[in-house]
Structures are given as structure tokens and as C-alpha cells.
Amino acid sequence: MTGRSLSVRLVHIALNILVLESSFQKLYFQLFVIFFFTKREMDRKAELSVEIRAVIVALHEEGYSTRKIASKCNVSQTAIMGALQRKRGEPKLLTGSVYSKKNFPQKK
């Protein structure tokens, strides 16, 4: 190859590289916009069964920590805390004390 044809070839290669870089930058920007600005939603996990929730509450009433309950039931500590919070919100139907005595003082 002569010097002139080599330099023309290098110019073509350089232009192709610039076009590829430009295309890559456009693609990268489009992907960035798609991933950054689209709303991502977390999938809901399977709900704990009634039996497992009963075991969680029973172990908690026996004095087990949430970490030990989680290891025994093979669920996350967050799931244990959620089950216990859910239990706290339920009325106590077995004892009949649906209302808090603090909110409804006894008449004298």
C-alpha cells in the first residue's frame, strides 16, 4: 500500500469508529433513560400460612427472639416481625377484650 491509500484507509477507519461510538452512546443513553425512569415494582412474596403464623405467635409468647423464631421457621426475620405486627392489630376474641381499657375508662 502506498502512503496515500494507507492514510485514506485510516481516515475511513477513524470515521467508522466515531460512528460506532456515537451509536453506542445513543444506545447507552436510551438504556439509561429506560432503566432509570421506569417505575420498578417489587413482586409480592407468598403469604405465610396460618399454621406458620400460629407457630410464630406461640414461640414469641414463649419468649423466643425474632431471630431464633426466624431460624426455626425458616423464614426471614422481617416476615416474623410482620406476622407479629399483624397479630397485634387483631382483636382479642378469645378473651373478649376488643376495646382498650385506656380508651374506655370504667365508670365509678
CA 96/CA 64 separation, integer angstroms: 26
Residue 26's Cβ-count burial label (10 Å; 0-12, 13-18, 19+) is exposed
Q: Where are the domains of the chain?
A: 1-34, 50-89
Scan for cell 500500500, then name that residue: 1
Residues in the chain, overall count: 108
DSSP state of 105: P
pLDDT of residue 69: 93
pTM for the whole thing?
Answer: 0.44
Tens of each residue's pLDDT in the chain, 108 residues: 566 777 777 777 877 777 777 777 888 877 877 777 776 676 667 788 888 999 999 999 999 999 999 999 999 999 999 888 887 766 555 555 555 555 555 665
For 106, other C-beta atoms within 10 Å of its C-beta total 5
pLDDT of residue 90: 62
